[in-house]
């Protein structure tokens, strides 16, 4: 382990733990562990179809992971991506059903994405405003907003928008995002769409923007010390609000992977769970866009692997596995940080020239 960096060690620990849980679960269900592993491999990275499915599963996770990590930059815990993406997906899908059949894609897709982003941001802004104006912690408000979305969505679907009580009408053909199998025929049958390359580019763009811009720097300062920022004349409340808006908008864009790129309509439960898994992706993918994309691919692989083994070992095993990965990654972060002193620590030149 000596030759590995701390973050590499964490990944090794997490993967080892994941493998152990998977073997135990398959053992418990009377399945030989090597066979389960073979099934996982064949269902994910072993075949072109599997790869496509992994990319498809990773797409919403990267959107929500990005959303969570943007808020975290400013020191905010946006647990509400789950509700934001659900409300925003419904709004986006509804707008997409209202577009004419001959609206070209270069108009339809941006319109739908803009609506979804706006609605996601608006829903997040409730929590943002309560934090900024009333000082209520966003963890509690976003959890409540998630529960509200859980109640409101079925109601809207049954009362207002529905075809049969659980889904909207089909969206306009122009708003559909093309599948990746248009260009890579071997992905045929998988649900991977252009949303994946889009979200990867977006992840790098957002990262680069936040690294270079004033707003991104101020986010990080606020996370470090809000009181110092206040004293420096930075409008902390405004920046926090902006972080929540940005986070909610990114969560709303998830609509591209689920509604536009896959189903072609919104139904209850579409994209559910992506919000919470996105938190795991963000925690695992700390430090940059590359890590974030890698983390989303890892969790996408787990999700797809769950489907691949579901016939023999219930896919709930993958939920357990995901939790174990989160715990192991989180638990080893501090241990490895203790071993390597932070390079910026000025503790040793106390009593120097300063």
Q: Under the rule (CB under 8 A), what is the footprint of another protein?
A: 25, 28-29, 77, 79, 126, 130, 134-137, 139-141, 143-145, 147-148, 150-152, 154-155, 158-159, 276, 279-280, 283, 314, 316-320, 322-324, 326-327, 330-335
User: CB-wise, 163 or 331, nearer to another protein?
Assistant: 331
Between residues 122 and 280, which has the closer beta carbon with respect to another protein? Answer: 280
Distance CA 140, CA 150 (A): 16
- Smallest separation, CB 256 to another protein (Å): 25
Shortest Å distance, C-beta 307 to another protein: 14
Q: Which residues lie closer than 8 Å to 192 by C-beta, 6 or more apart?
A: 52, 53, 55, 56, 59, 179, 180, 181, 261
Between 118 and 324, name the residue whose CB sits nearer to another protein.
324
27 or 209: CB nearest another protein: 27
Question: Closer CB to another protein, residue 4 or residue 335?
Answer: 335
Residue 339 C-beta: closest distance to another protein, Å = 13
In the complex with another protein, which residue's Cβ is closer, 288 or 314?
Answer: 314
Closest to 17 in 3D by CA, of 333, 328, 335, 330 = 328
CA distances from 300 to 40, 43, 249, 267, 278 (A): 12, 12, 22, 21, 10
Smallest distance, another protein to C-beta of residue 148, A: 5
Of residues 259, 278, 277, the one with CA closest to residue 267: 259
Are residues 41 and 35 in contact, defined by beta-carbon separation less than 8 angstroms? Answer: no
For another protein, the closer of residues 111 and 320 by Cβ is 320
* CB of 313 vs another protein, minimal distance in Å: 9
| Cα separation, 131 vs 177, whole angstroms | 36
Our CB check for another protein shows the closer of 106 and 334 to be 334
Q: How far is the CB of 220 from another protein (least distance, A)?
A: 17
Task: Determine the length of the chain.
Answer: 354
CB of 199 to another protein, least distance (A): 22
Taking the complex as a whole, how short is the minimal distance between the CB of residue 119 and another protein, in angstroms?
18
How many CB atoms sit inside 10 A of residue 189's CB? 11
Q: Nearer Cβ to another protein, position 216 or 275?
A: 275
List CB contacts of 243: < 8 A, sequence separation 6 or more: 70, 71, 73, 74, 76, 128, 219
């Amino acid at each position: 382990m000596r030759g590995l960096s701390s973050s590499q060690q964490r990944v090794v620990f997490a993967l080892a733990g994941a493998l152990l849980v998977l073997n135990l679960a398959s053992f418990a269900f009377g399945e030989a562990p090597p066979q389960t592993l073979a099934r996982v491999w064949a269902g994910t990275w072993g075949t072109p179809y599997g790869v496509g499915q992994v990319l498809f599963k990773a797409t919403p996770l990267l959107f929500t992971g990005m959303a969570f990590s943007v808020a975290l930059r400013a020191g905010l815990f946006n647990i509400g991506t789950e509700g934001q993406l659900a409300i925003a997906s419904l709004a986006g899908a509804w707008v997409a059903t209202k577009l004419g059949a001959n609206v070209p894609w270069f108009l339809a897709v941006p319109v739908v994405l803009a609506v979804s982003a706006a609605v996601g941001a608006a829903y997040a802004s409730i929590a943002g405003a309560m934090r900024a104006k009333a000082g209520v912690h966003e963890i509690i408000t976003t959890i409540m907003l998630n529960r509200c979305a859980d109640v409101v969505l079925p109601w809207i679907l049954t009362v207002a928008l529905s075809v049969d009580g659980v889904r909207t009408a089909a969206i306009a053909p122009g708003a559909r995002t093309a599948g990746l199998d248009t260009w890579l025929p071997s992905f045929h049958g998988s649900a991977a769409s252009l949303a994946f390359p889009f979200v990867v580019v977006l992840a790098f763009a957002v990262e680069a923007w936040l690294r270079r811009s004033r707003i991104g720097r101020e986010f990080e300062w606020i996370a470090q010390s809000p009181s110092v920022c206040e004293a420096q004349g930075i409008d902390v409340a405004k920046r926090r609000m902006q972080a929540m808006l940005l986070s909610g908008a990114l969560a709303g864009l998830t609509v591209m992977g689920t509604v536009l790129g896959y189903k072609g309509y919104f139904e209850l439960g579409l994209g559910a769970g992506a919000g919470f898994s996105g938190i795991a992706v963000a925690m695992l993918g700390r430090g940059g866009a590359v890590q974030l994309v890698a983390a989303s691919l890892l969790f996408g692989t787990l999700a797809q692997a769950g489907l691949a083994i579901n016939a023999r070992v219930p896919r709930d095993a993958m939920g357990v596995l995901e939790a174990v990965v989160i715990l192991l990654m989180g638990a080893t972060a501090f241990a490895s940080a203790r071993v390597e002193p932070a390079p910026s620590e000025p503790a040793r030149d106390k009593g120097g020239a300063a």
